[in-house]
């Protein structure tokens, strides 16, 4: 399992979500990140999900 990072921001740059989570691979991590954002109604907020190697898996501005 690898540790991924999911962060979401308000329009003024304030962090509203900053979590780490475990996933088997990048595809699974992307799906988990999208699910977390949907649950918290943050899909339209600026957000990003990064892999342990720094790869950007998910981004919305």
pLDDT of residue 47: 98
Q: Over pLDDT 70: what percentage of the chain?
A: 100
pLDDT 10s digits, 33-59: 999 999 999 999 999 999 999 999 999
Handedness of CA 5, 35, 8, 30 (dihedral sign): positive
32, 39, 54, 44: which is closest to 8 by C-alpha? 44
For residue 33, the model assigns a pLDDT of 98
Mean pLDDT, the chain, as a whole number? 97
Q: What is the predicted pLDDT for the residue at 39?
A: 97
């Amino acid at each position: 399992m690898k540790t991924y990072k999911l962060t979401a921001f308000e329009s003024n740059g304030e962090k509203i979500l900053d979590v780490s989570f475990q996933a088997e691979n990048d595809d699974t991590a992307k799906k988990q990140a999208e699910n977390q954002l949907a649950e918290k109604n943050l899909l339209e907020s600026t957000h990003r999900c990064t892999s342990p190697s720094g790869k950007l898996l998910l981004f919305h501005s």
